[in-house]
Amino acid sequence: MEKIVIHEVGLRDGLQMERQTVPLEQKEQWLTTLIESGVDIIQLGSFVHPGKVPQMADTDLLFREFSGRPRGSVVFSGLVLNEKGLERGLACGVELFCMGVSASETHSKKNTGMTVAEATSRIIAIALEAQKAGKTVQVSVQSAFGCGYEGPVPQKNVIRIVERYLEAGLTTISLADTAGHATPDRVERIFGTIKRMSDDITCACHFHNTYGLGLANTYAAVRAGVVFIESSVGGLGGCPFTKIAGGNVCTEDLVHMLQQMCQRKDIDLSKLLSCAGAISTYFARELPGTVYRTGSIARPEAVA
């Protein structure tokens, strides 16, 4: 098994569904703890119109505040949807740009106001501009395993978008299960198909736990050779433009599973549990995550 790379998206995907706006100072506290945990990539926010997603209104400020601080090897990522978002991201220190296209026509129109074909052409152009600026780019296919409005999404629709990415020279590709419809067998099958399309491809996954299959699907993706896993502290999150929004795969539950499998022992699980507990206290409710409430099992080597 290759070293799994943890891409923490709680400050973006995790918070975008929350009605209670989190002030910048509170986000900074949680971000500091996440950095200390030793996860590999942290998504600080998205560059969207503050009127549509008020929770992301201070994304630029958060990047500027932390870009100059010591943070070891942690990479900061940001989500962009259009040219203006790219411009803002370039101005405030984004290192990894994430952007994507939905494989569902209905979800694409609700999320971007564009057809899949229109969105694909636009995102590819933006991605190439980011690469010209010397930035790392990850492109995604959203609703890759199903759509809350349309139901099943044909695999050929996903492959068509991946082909467009590869033709443009974009080789770091994420499949996002926006509606939470994925099952482990389909995850292994479609990632296996995509990895055979190019020797240069690097695969990432982004699963939602809408129907309780998030962690199982993540494990299936790892078995299929996926290296980058996107997850959210506490299991927060959900897409505001899908029919039924479900939280993300929970970061501390994911790390706990990996450590039980003798992987990623370098990540400080206690920091993640502390962060999840702090977020639970802030919102005054239990979060979808499990291990922050139950506590972790002793590491395998401790009982060998």
Per-residue model confidence as pLDDT tens digits over 245-296: 558 999 999 999 999 999 999 999 999 999 999 999 999 999 999 999 999 9
User: Between these two residues, 150 and 122, which has the higher pLDDT value?
Assistant: 122
Per residue in 42-100, pLDDT (tens digit) is 999 999 988 888 999 999 999 999 988 889 999 999 999 999 999 999 999 999 999 99
Evaluate if residue 239 carries a pLDDT over 60: no
Residues classed as catalytic: 239
103/272 Cα distance (integer angstroms): 33
Note whether 278 and 33 are within 8 A (CB).
Answer: yes
Which of the four pLDDT bands, split at 50, 70 and 90, describes residue 102? Answer: very high
223: nearest Cα among 265, 259, 256, 184: 184
Buried b (16+ CB within 10 A) or exposed e, 33-70: bbbbbbbbbbbbbbbbeeeebebbebbbebbebbeeee
* DSSP 8-class letter at 114: S
Evaluate if residue 1 carries a pLDDT over 80: no
Number of H helices, E strands in the chain: 12, 8
Per residue in 145-200, pLDDT (tens digit) is 998 888 999 999 999 999 999 999 999 999 999 889 999 999 999 999 999 999 99
Evaluate if residue 211 carries a pLDDT over 80: yes
Evaluate if residue 243 carries a pLDDT over 60: no
* Structural domains in the chain plus CATH codes: 5-303 (3.20.20.70)
Global model pTM greater than 0.85: yes
